[in-house]
Amino acid sequence: MQKYSADLHVHTVLSPCGDLDMSPANIVEAAARKRIDILGIADHNHTKHCALIRKMAEQKGIFVLGGAEVTTREEIHCLAFFENNELLEEFQQYLETYLPLINNRPEVFGHQVVVDEEEMIVEEIGPLLISGIEQSLEQVEEKVHSLGGLFIPAHIDRPSFSLMSQLGFIPPGLKADALEISANTTAEQIIGLYPELGSYSFIGNSDAHHPAQIGKRFSRFCMKEISFDEIGKALRKAGGRGVEIVNAPLQ
């Protein structure tokens, strides 16, 4: 088994809350400088930067998990990742079908732009991406898994946009591949409060909105090699694989 560093919650300039410096080029450069092995791209309710960042990151030896941070009807944030660009496109169609047509106000929420390798703006997304889509937590989970994806409720302990803030409990039998927790708590504390969660893997990520934040918090995967299949097995603790949270920042 080998150990790999992973930051699986990184926003780009496409997210209205993402800094304008979060271009694909700057993200890849920062990840390479901090020797990140696996990078998860998770813009709010959109996947359009994933393919480009995957292409650019491959040149630096970085494996990219492409996906999105979905906001459910209950306003719960969930990370969803997919194996290839074709599945990403299918999931993007799903997101666009259920995203409310509320126009973004850049002066209030921030810009939602798609840029190319040269950091030139090629598109601006009109609908506000931080809205909750018209699908429940369970419906989003079912769609992600129907496409063979990974479904991870985000920062479940936070006081907003989390399982605990919106529901007040963890749904019994939740079909999650892992649970993300913030730096405000530990896996041991969560399991102490909710012993039934002991079977889940926990991951920690930076939730980066600025290049300097990438790798500030990360997870270490123990698995045979870097692949979508191996990452899934590590999250499921299969065959001696596993994952642990590292709170010290990558330099």
Q: Which of 83-92, 104-113, 216-225 has the lowest mean pLDDT?
A: 104-113
Rounded to an integer, what distance in angstroms lies between the CA atom of residue 243 and that of residue 80?
A: 18
pLDDT value, residue 251: 63
pLDDT band at 177 (very low <50, low <70, confident <90, very high): very high
pLDDT in tens, 202-232: 999 999 999 999 999 999 999 999 999 999 9
pLDDT value, residue 172: 82
Rounded to an integer, what distance in angstroms lies between the CA atom of residue 8 and that of residue 96?
A: 23
Task: Enumerate domains of the chain plus CATH numbers.
Answer: 2-246 (3.20.20.140)
The two most distant CA atoms of the chain are separated, in Å, by 50
Among positive and negative, which fits the CA dihedral 111, 91, 116, 28? positive
Percentage of the chain beyond pLDDT 70 is 98
pLDDT value, residue 122: 85
CA atoms within 13 A on the CB side of 206: 30
Asked if pLDDT for residue 173 goes beyond 90, the answer is no
Percentage of the chain beyond pLDDT 90 is 77
Asked if pLDDT for residue 250 goes beyond 70, the answer is no
Asked if pLDDT for residue 60 goes beyond 90, the answer is yes
Q: Which of 73-82, 114-123, 125-134 has the lowest mean pLDDT?
A: 114-123
Higher-confidence residue of 172 and 239: namely 239
77-82: average pLDDT: 98
User: By the 8 A CB rule, do 43 and 12 touch?
Assistant: yes
pLDDT value, residue 19: 73
pLDDT band at 108 (very low <50, low <70, confident <90, very high): confident
Give the mean pLDDT of the chain: 93
